[in-house]
Amino acid sequence: MTIHCLGSINVDHVHRLTAFPQPGETLQDISYSVGLGGKGTNQAIAAHRAGGDVRLIGAVGADGDWARGQLQAFGLDLAQVAGVDAATGHAVIHVDAGGENQIVIHGGANRAIPDAHVEAALAGAQPGDWWLTQNETNATVGSTMRARALGLRTVHVAAPFDAAAATAILPHLDLLAVNEGEAAALAAHLGVAPEALPVPSLLVTRGARGAVWRDGGAECSVPAFAVEAVDTTGAGDTFLGVTLAGLDSGLAVPQALRRAAAAGALCVGRAGAAGSIPTRAEIDAFLENSA
């Protein structure tokens, strides 16, 4: 099957720091780099590199030639990446000495994806395909409603978190992916316990404590692999993309999550977002060495 990702495309401006600045403080960085990112892009690349058949639906501005070239270099199909009259999305990322990050994003073209590109993607989809969205683009709720009506399996990553946006899309999902903080915030907004969020399947990532998958009354947990973190940027996106690729290939949930945990461990051991995402062969080698 195919994973259709209605996703953000960002140019990431990464500043490495000894520590995050305090309010009103100006700091000199240690290093600066530019890379490809965006939650949708990261998830699409992770799924593709893990063996999934992926289609990215997105947009860049007139300044987007570099981003297009990077997407092509990662092997993604650009047929449904539109050119629009808005700046290409970008992110300013601070990474501290412990590998933690702070991120500010500008949506730009990611919030102006043409309806025609979304419609073309849906028209080319088949029942059983995946429809993947995040809270960094326009058209998430409407496209997810249509995708589910067409028999696609719908997945939403509720980040950057907004309780109202997550609540609006929740009734149209097969799978919701959140981190622990987002799960707690959404549960509080809805007045339910985090484990009782009203969605058929729920994936909660817990950083260094792994992840848990809840499906009805069943629960499956996977521990994280113990590695030294260099940069956590993109780790959650990598986990989600590899999970979907594993499920799409026919793996059971525990096996898909274990592969995703391995991919996340490899990701945090490298600097950057898209460039830190491992290949299927690297995941295989990591798991073999960890057996």
Query: Would residue 237 show up in a list of annotated catalytic residues for this protein?
Result: yes
Give the position of tokens 């956590």.
Answer: 232
Q: What is the 3-state secondary structure (H, E, C) of the chain?
A: CEEEEECCCEEEEEEECCCCCCCCCCCCCCEEEEEEECHHHHHHHHHHHCCCEEEEEEEECCCCHHHHHHHHHCCCCCCCEEECCCCCEEEEEEECCCCCEEEEEECHHHHCCCHHHHHHHHHCCCCCCEEEEECCCCCHHHHHHHHHHCCCEEEEECCCCCHHHHHHHHHHCCEEEEEHHHHHHHHHHHCCCHHHCCCCEEEEECHHHCEEEEECCEEEEECCCCCCCCCCCCHHHHHHHHHHHHHHCCCCHHHHHHHHHHHHHHHHCCCCCHHHCCCHHHHHHHHHHHC
CB atoms within 10 A of CB 19: 12
Distances (CA, A) of 137 to 34, 115, 212: 21, 12, 26
Tell me which residue has tokens 């149209």. Answer: 172
Task: Please give the Cα distance from 50 to 10 (Å, whole number).
Answer: 21
Q: Measure CA 198 to chain center.
A: 21
Structure token pair of residue 180: 């622990």
Q: Which residues of 222-252 are buried (b: 16+ CB within 10 A; e: fewer)?
A: bebbeeebbbbbbbbbbbbbbbbbbbbbeee
Joined tokens for residue 87: 């700046």
pLDDT for residue 220? 95
User: How many angstroms separate the CA atoms of 226 and 39, rounded?
Assistant: 24
Question: Tell me, what amino acid is at 268?
Answer: V
Selected catalytic residue, list 65, 237, 248, 284: 237
Residue with tokens 């730009």: 108
pTM score:
0.93
- Distance in angstroms (rounded) separating the CA atoms of residues 105 and 91: 4
Q: What is the pLDDT of residue 228?
A: 86
Q: Which residues pair with 132 in a beta bridge?
A: 5, 155
- Per-residue tens of pLDDT for the chain, all 291 residues: 999 999 999 999 999 999 999 999 999 999 999 999 999 999 999 999 999 999 999 999 999 999 999 999 999 999 999 999 999 999 998 989 988 889 898 999 999 999 999 999 999 999 999 999 999 999 999 999 999 999 999 999 999 999 999 999 999 999 999 999 999 999 999 999 998 999 999 999 998 899 999 998 789 999 999 898 888 888 999 999 999 999 999 999 999 999 999 999 999 888 877 889 999 999 999 999 987
Check residue 243 and give its pLDDT. Answer: 98
Return the closest-CA partner of residue 112 out of 92, 91, 89, 90: 89
Contact 244, 155 (CB under 8 A): yes
116 half-sphere exposure, CB direction, 13 A CA radius: 5
**Can you tell me the distance from the alpha carbon of 44 to that of 49, in angstroms, rounded to the nearest whole number?**
9
